[in-house]
């Protein structure tokens, strides 16, 4: 091993405890994770409730094809009168003057049908007064037959059956009735559809059309509304907890679509459906009861998140609180949720849970209040009302608070102050950063106070699906595990994404109608989860562990506008004088980059320009550095009638990150106004200082060192196993020497290591490999490892977990 780098691992303190709940998952209905995803329902818009709130061109017949064949007569309409469910009154009216006419549902990107599997098909229908039915030339009927058919990609029939909705003859006219059939397709279809052929003249109102595969994960009847293969890939992460339902879903964009758990349980037709703040529709087919049953089935503790009594802060008017006059009712809803989870069957909500099929309590241990909220006086007022009520009624329940959307900034500081003052058990931190940022900040939790609130890193990621992204996350997870006495929980986000419907990238698991697709990040999460531990040995490493990025190559200046800005008097210069000039740059409102024609090379320089805004509300960006490469900078300038917001984005390895919070500047802005922008780049590209209109200044300072090689040593007492985790995010293989740790574990010295039955699991590949929505080209490989002299090799661009049993023998 003389031709590879060597790092030496030494202990820095004694063993620390690791939280038993450290690694979990966070499920939010984003990117079609629920409807069209984990929910097994195959009919899209089966309740005919889609409207413009869900999508600009959506309507009650979105996802439905209406067909009136030649020679037939009829119409399809919508009404809210005489509804099956007042919670979702809109439904379809099928008027058949001359049969047949047909309604066909396209599903969520088609329907994946498997031959040999049964599919439960159902719908609700009602015929009104038989005498009022307009009869066609065929004489009509007081009963209406509906033929349900599964259709393959080419229009062929896979399976069909007929259901009948009777009229006055059997006394059911005017009464909503559910009919169902079991369809058994004789072959597969990748892009199937479900059609309903109305075979008799008359008028039939229909609602809540459903098609689900007749299967349940491991035969669990409480999970038959969930897609089994997606439960499989989720369960294989061995999550210790599952956060739900959000995220932004929990508080909503406004009070109108704030998540209310009581609307998501019971018969699906009575679950009040809602528009989704990620740009589509929520049927709540996957509601709180399904969530709690899923947690129980896969061994994950539930972590429900409720709004802190305020909605999202990221609207143009900021967060809006629930009126104080309604807070008592809302607080009671939160208390009722805990009773629904933990109350015995003699309590009101415990009885409701038993009625749904789960008499035993779900043993809830914790609840989250709030998500990425603006931490101001109104938030604190509403939060405390909920917090105090939970503390008084259920003192055994741990409360997870919130400290805003980032690991720095005003909300973060204020959130921590509130949490410490109130004695909140755990705080929920969030951070999405470039790999470089994580490699630069692996010590974030090292100096965290060991007393006071614990940390839940509830949302984190690194803006990509490549191996490099996954290695940065592995380094972060190693750091969290090392500080497992402070970091009590962590969950990557988002969890699921349907291919072609990304509301956010990257995601841990992608899927289509046919299968799930892992990512490198998924394999890293799985490697940690499958090698859990309860004690960590803090260690230091010596050797070539860091990377210093050169940032002084050729540079250019480009600009982008969504609204049609004009930049004038653009000058680039350094200490020796002017490097380039552009008199004017008129930007099209097409969100595309425009080159200034200026290029230069310097390690310290200034950029000055005047930006004329087309309207009071506008946005543009100025990018400079190696813009064609993976390392450069971007200044975002957003204007509103009463403020200007400047943001500095640092792009490293092609991923954007930030080292300073965007700062709003109070200003009166009108269309045609010119804003002076001055940018100074210093310290070899590590410092960027932006001055707006000659006054307000924002400064971004980037750390120099990225720790690209990390080692973690942990122990699983239950399995009598020591685990060594090594990240090597460099282009050279390395040798890890752990012999200096012998005083803390006999496995590293004092006996013949050649006899140790040790294994290692290695994930390695090319750093840029990996694309979301596809299987990565490599997967973890488990193999025997030679531990002679307590040393082992790790490939370039790799994450390695070495398992060493305490017994130390092969037998």
Span 702-724, average pLDDT:
95
* Residue 128 CB burial class (10 angstroms; 0-12, 13-18, ≥19): middle
Cα-Cα-Cα-Cα dihedral sign, residues 309, 310, 312, 313 = negative
Q: How does pLDDT run across 567-601, given as a tens digit for each residue? A: 999 999 999 999 999 999 999 888 899 999 999 99
- pLDDT reported for residue 806: 84
Q: What is the pTM of this model?
A: 0.95
CATH number for the domain formed by residue range(s) 42-213: 2.60.120.260
**pLDDT given for residue 663 in this prediction:** 85
Q: Do domains 42-213 and 555-705 have the same CATH topology?
A: yes
Tell me the per-residue pLDDT of 163-209, one tens digit each, with 9 for 90 and over. 999 865 555 668 999 999 999 999 999 999 999 999 999 999 999 99
Question: With 70 as the cut, is the pLDDT of residue 514 above it?
Answer: yes
In this predicted structure, what is the pLDDT of residue 755?
53
The number of angstroms, rounded, from the C-alpha of 307 to the middle of its chain's C-alpha atoms is 17
Exposure string of 424-440, with b = 16+ CB inside 10 Å and e = fewer, is bbbbbbbbbbbbbbbbb
Taking the alpha carbons at both ends of the chain, their separation in whole angstroms is 29
- Name the least confident of 78-82, 284-288, 559-563: 559-563
- 233 phi, psi to nearest 5 deg: -70, -30
Rg (CA), the chain: 30
| C-alpha–C-alpha distance, residues 785 and 755, integer Å | 11
The domain ranges of the chain are 42-213, 237-432, 555-705
pLDDT value of residue 757: 76
Task: Dump pLDDT digits (tens) for 233-272.
Answer: 999 999 999 999 999 999 999 999 999 999 999 999 999 9
| Tens digit of each residue's pLDDT (9 = 90 or more) over 304-355 | 999 999 999 988 778 999 999 999 999 999 999 999 999 999 999 999 999 9
pLDDT at residue 122 greater than cutoff 90:
yes
Would you say residue 134 has pLDDT above 80?
A: no
Taking residues 685-709, what's their average pLDDT? Answer: 95
The reported pLDDT for the residue numbered 540 is 93
pLDDT tens digits for 787-808?
877 889 999 999 999 999 887 5
pLDDT-derived band at 142, boundaries 50, 70, 90: low
- C-alpha 577/C-alpha 624 separation (Å) is 18
pLDDT level of residue 13 (50, 70, 90 thresholds): confident
CA 417, CA 467: separation in Å to the nearest integer?
37
Q: Would the pLDDT of 137 be above 50?
A: no
Q: What is the pLDDT of residues 26-39, one digit of tens each?
A: 999 999 999 999 99
Q: Is residue 747 scored above 90 in pLDDT?
A: no
3-state secondary structure of 773: coil
| Average pLDDT estimate for 122-130 | 84
Token pair listed for 656: 């954007």
Query: What phi and psi, each to the nearest 5 degrees, are found at residue 574?
Result: -130, -165
E strands of 174-273, at which residues? 177-183, 189-198, 202-213, 241-244
CA distance 22 to 484: 7
> How much is the average pLDDT of 518-541?
97
Residue 1 has pLDDT above 50, yes or no: no
pLDDT exceeds 60 at position 753: no
Of 440, 395, 423, 353, the residue nearest 657 (C-alpha): 440
Q: Is the pLDDT score of 132 beyond 50?
A: no
Task: For domain 555-705, say whether CATH 2.60.120 is its number.
Answer: yes
3-state secondary structure of 361: coil
Q: Across-strand partners of 805?
A: 721
Q: For residue 790, what pLDDT is reported?
A: 83
C-alpha to C-alpha distance for 714 and 722, rounded to whole angstroms: 6
d(CA 251, CA 540): 42
CATH of the domain spanning 237-432: 3.20.20.80
Q: Is the pLDDT of residue 372 over 70?
A: yes
Strand ranges (E), 19-152: 25-26, 64-67, 73-79, 91-98, 101-105, 111-113, 119-126, 144-151
What's the rounded mean pLDDT across residues 759-768?
98
Helices and strands per DSSP (H, E), number in the chain: 10, 50
């Amino acid at each position: 091993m003389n031709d590879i780098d060597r790092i030496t691992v030494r202990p820095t303190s004694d063993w620390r405890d690791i939280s038993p709940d450290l690694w979990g998952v966070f499920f939010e209905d984003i990117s079609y994770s629920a409807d069209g995803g984990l929910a097994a329902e195959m009919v899209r818009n089966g309740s005919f409730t889609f409207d413009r709130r869900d999508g600009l061109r959506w309507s009650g017949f979105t996802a439905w094809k209406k067909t009136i064949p030649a020679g037939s007569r009829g119409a399809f309409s919508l009404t809210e009168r005489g509804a099956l469910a007042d919670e979702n009154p809109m439904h379809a009216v099928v008027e058949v003057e001359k049969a047949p006419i047909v309604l066909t549902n396209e599903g969520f990107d088609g329907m994946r049908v498997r031959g040999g599997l049964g599919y439960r098909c159902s719908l609700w229908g009602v015929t009104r007064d038989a005498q009022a039915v307009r009869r066609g030339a065929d004489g009509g009927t007081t009963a209406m037959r509906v033929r349900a058919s599964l259709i393959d990609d080419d229009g062929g029939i896979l399976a069909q059956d007929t259901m009948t909705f009777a009229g006055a003859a059997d006394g059911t006219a005017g009464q909503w009735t559910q009919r169902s059939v079991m369809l058994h397709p004789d072959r597969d279809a990748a892009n199937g559809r479900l059609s309903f052929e109305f075979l008799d003249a008359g008028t039939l109102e229909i609602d809540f059309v459903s098609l689900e595969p007749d299967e349940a994960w491991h035969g669990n009847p409480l999970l038959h509304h969930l897609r089994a293969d997606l439960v499989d890939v989720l369960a294989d992460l061995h999550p210790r907890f599952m956060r739900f339902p959000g995220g932004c879903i929990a508080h909503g964009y406004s009070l109108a679509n704030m998540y209310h758990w009581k609307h998501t349980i019971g018969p699906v037709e009575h679950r009040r459906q809602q528009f989704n703040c990620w740009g589509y529709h929520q049927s709540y087919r996957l509601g709180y009861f399904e969530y709690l049953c899923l947690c129980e089935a896969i061994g994950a503790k539930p972590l429900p998140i409720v709004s802190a009594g305020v909605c999202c802060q990221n609207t143009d008017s900021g967060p809006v609180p629930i009126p104080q006059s309604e807070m008592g009712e809302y607080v009671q809803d939160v208390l009722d949720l805990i009773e629904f989870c933990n109350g015995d069957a003699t309590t009101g909500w415990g009885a409701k849970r038993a009625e749904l099929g789960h008499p035993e309590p779900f043993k809830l241990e914790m609840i989250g209040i709030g998500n990425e909220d603006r931490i101001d006086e109104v938030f604190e007022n509403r939060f405390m009302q909920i917090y105090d009520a939970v503390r008084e009624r259920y003192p055994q329940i741990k409360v997870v608070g919130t400290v805003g959307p980032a690991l720095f900034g005003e909300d973060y500081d204020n959130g921590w102050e509130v949490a410490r003052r109130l004695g909140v058990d755990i705080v929920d931190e969030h951070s999405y950063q470039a790999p470089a940022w994580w490699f630069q900040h692996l010590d974030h939790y090292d100096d965290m106070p060991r007393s006071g609130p614990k940390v839940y890193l509830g949302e984190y990621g690194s803006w990509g699906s490549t191996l490099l992204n996954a290695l940065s996350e592995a380094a972060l997870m190693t750091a969290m595990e090392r500080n497992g006495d402070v970091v009590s929980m962590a969950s990557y986000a988002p969890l699921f994404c349907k291919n072609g419907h990304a509301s956010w990238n990257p995601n841990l698991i992608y899927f289509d109608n046919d299968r799930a697709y892992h990512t490198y990040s998924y394999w890293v999460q799985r490697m940690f989860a499958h090698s859990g531990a309860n004690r960590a040995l803090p260690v230091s490493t010596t050797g070539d562990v860091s990377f210093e990025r050169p940032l002084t190559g050729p540079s250019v200046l480009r600009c982008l506008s969504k609204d049609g800005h004009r930049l004038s008097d653009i000058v680039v210069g350094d200490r020796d004088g002017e490097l380039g000039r552009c008199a004017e740059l008129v930007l099209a409102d097409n969100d595309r980059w425009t080159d200034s024609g200026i290029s230069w090379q310097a390690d310290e320089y200034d950029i000055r320009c005047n930006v004329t805004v087309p309207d009071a509300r506008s946005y543009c960006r100025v990018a400079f550095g190696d813009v064609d490469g993976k390392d450069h900078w971007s200044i975002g300038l957003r204007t509103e009638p009463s403020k200007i917001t400047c943001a500095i984005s640092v792009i490293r390895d092609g991923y954007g990150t930030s080292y300073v919070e965007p700062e709003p500047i109070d200003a009166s802005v009108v269309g045609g106004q010119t804003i002076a922008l001055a940018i100074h780049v210093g310290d070899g590209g590590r410092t960027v200082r932006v001055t707006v209109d000659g006054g307000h200044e924002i400064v971004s300072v980037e750390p120099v060192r990225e720790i690209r090689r990390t080692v973690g040593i942990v122990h699983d007492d239950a399995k009598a196993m020591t685990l060594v985790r090594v990240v090597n995010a460099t282009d050279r293989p390395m040798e890890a020497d752990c012999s200096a740790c012998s005083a803390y574990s006999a496995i590293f010295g004092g006996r013949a290591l050649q006899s140790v039955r040790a294994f290692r699991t290695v994930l390695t590949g090319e750093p840029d490999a990996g694309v979301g929505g596809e299987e990565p080209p490599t997967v973890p490989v488990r193999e025997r490892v030679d531990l002679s002299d307590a040393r082992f090799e790790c490939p370039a661009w790799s994450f390695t977990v070495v398992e060493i049993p305490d017994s130390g023998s092969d037998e």
